[in-house]
Amino acid sequence: MRARLIDVAARAGVAPNTASTILNNRPDSWASKETRERVLLAAKELNYRPSKAALGVRLGRYNTIGLVVPDLHNPFYPVLADYLDQAVAAHGYDLILEHSRNDLASEQHCFQSILDRQVDGVALIVSDPELHRPFLAGLAVSGPPAVALAAKPAVALPVDAVVSDFSAGFAQAIDHLIGLGHERFAFLCALAKGQDDGNRQELFRSLLGARGIAPEAISFVRCEHHIASARDAFLGLLRQTKSRRPTALIAMNDLSAIGAMRAAADEKLVVPRDLSVIGVDNIPLGEFLPVALTTIAQPIQDMVARTAALLIQRIEGKAATRPTQTVFSTELLLRESTAKPPRR
């Protein structure tokens, strides 16, 4: 069994309060050098480690930050978690993780659950900002410091937010594809369980329509977040549109783009000769595929650094009172998965 403070005190022959003042280096300790050495030796012999929970209750701080991610199978999120872990560790904080598995009901549960885990602050990756807005508003009033990470919402969120503005990245991607000569497009949208399209379809169609692409030349395909669903969904589109297949695809994330590339291979199409593909997120794997994936990149390290700074400033009482929204732009990274469309 794990040694307790009372066990250390008994072995050293002192009162538990005396052992506590020595082991916590409290300045009001009156213990002699001999007593101090006896307590430290007992703690070493028993492999005693202070309870973080008990210490947190006494100090009012646990030096722990919580993070909720939607998908540990998508390399983007473990990379983000690793960066955040490093950023908060540099300030003496530990990171604990909850996984909502791309399910909005589970996401709501995890947001609440992480607050019960003795954390000083939370970073929440929010799949649907509008759905979670009431929860975030309550958190702003009575919860610990929180930072929401999300796509840029139409209205600022009620807690500190670090958001990605995809408009520039999507515009660059579409301009790039149209510049290559593409006229038939598909958008592969990965959605969490319980999530609707939101304005994704309208945004994609409006960006293309403003550049002269007719609605009938645009296909919108829904899938789940796992790579097999992306493959199956896009394979279905390819088989339904053999005579008028899209020649260019933008996928909501890189994993979906990779699934779509597998579907293209299943139909004997070659990327990028027959189909140009663009993903989102710039996961490390994408650069090392046989055909390196063109992608819309988020500045993930800068976003994580800002998230960590906001949380620590709030926890330590050094931040402004009102919530802040920090917007990061996205950009297109050209690699090998786009080219001119095939000749008719």
Phi, psi of 111 (to 5 degrees): -60, -40
Neighbour tally for 66: CB within 10 Å: 26
> What percentage of residues in the chain have a pLDDT greater than 90?
77
Q: Please name the residues in contact with 309: beta carbons below 8 A apart, sequence gap of 6 or more.
A: none
**pTM, full prediction:** 0.85
The answer to whether residue 194 scores a pLDDT higher than 90 is no
183 HSE (CA, 13 A, CB side): 6
Per residue in 88-100, pLDDT (tens digit) is 999 999 999 999 9
Spatial separation of the C-alpha atoms in residues 331 and 334, rounded to whole Å: 10
The answer to whether residue 321 scores a pLDDT higher than 90 is no
The answer to whether residue 251 scores a pLDDT higher than 90 is yes
Alpha-carbon separation of residue 337 from 29, 53, 198, 272, 311 (angstroms): 67, 51, 28, 5, 38
Burial group, residue 87, by CB count within 10 angstroms (0-12, 13-18, 19+): buried
Pick 333 or 34 by higher pLDDT. 333
Question: Using omega within 30 degrees of 0 as the cis cutoff, is the peptide bond preceding 272 cis?
Answer: yes
- What the block records as the tokens of 259 is 């699934």
The answer to whether residue 25 scores a pLDDT higher than 80 is no
Please tell me the predicted confidence (pLDDT) of residue 26: 74
| Mean pLDDT taken over the chain | 92
98 HSE (CA, 13 A, CB side): 24
Please tell me the predicted confidence (pLDDT) of residue 199: 76
Least confident range of 154-163, 218-227, 312-321, 322-331: 312-321
Pick 60 or 273 by higher pLDDT. 273
The answer to whether residue 57 scores a pLDDT higher than 70 is no
* Amino acid identity, position 334: L
DSSP code for 103: B
The answer to whether residue 268 scores a pLDDT higher than 80 is yes
Average pLDDT over every residue of 228-255: 95
Q: Residue 58: pLDDT band by 50, 70, 90 thresholds?
A: low
Interstrand relation of 331-333 and 294-297 (parallel, antiparallel or unpaired):
antiparallel
- Of 307, 310, 312, the residue nearest 322 (C-alpha): 310
Please tell me the predicted confidence (pLDDT) of residue 62: 72
Please tell me the predicted confidence (pLDDT) of residue 254: 97
The answer to whether residue 60 scores a pLDDT higher than 60 is no
Please tell me the predicted confidence (pLDDT) of residue 55: 55
Which residues make beta-bridge pairs with 328? 164
Please tell me the predicted confidence (pLDDT) of residue 5: 86
Average pLDDT over every residue of 221-227: 93
Per residue in 270-290, pLDDT (tens digit) is 999 999 999 999 999 999 999
Per residue in 128-177, pLDDT (tens digit) is 999 999 999 999 998 899 999 999 999 999 999 999 999 999 999 999 99
Domains of the chain: 5-50 (1.10.260.40), 62-164+299-329 (3.40.50.2300), 167-297 (3.40.50.2300)
Spatial separation of the C-alpha atoms in residues 171 and 27, rounded to whole Å: 61
The answer to whether residue 61 scores a pLDDT higher than 70 is no
Per residue in 63-85, pLDDT (tens digit) is 899 999 999 999 999 999 999 99
Phi, psi of 48 (to 5 degrees): -75, 135
Q: Please name the residues in contact with 86: beta carbons below 8 A apart, sequence gap of 6 or more.
A: none
Least confident range of 22-26, 146-150, 338-342: 22-26
The answer to whether residue 202 scores a pLDDT higher than 90 is no
Q: Please name the residues in contact with 84: beta carbons below 8 A apart, sequence gap of 6 or more.
A: 65, 67, 95, 123, 304, 307, 308
Per residue in 294-312, pLDDT (tens digit) is 999 999 999 999 999 999 9
Phi, psi of 191 (to 5 degrees): -125, 145
User: Do 95 and 89 form a contact (C-beta atoms < 8 A)?
Assistant: yes
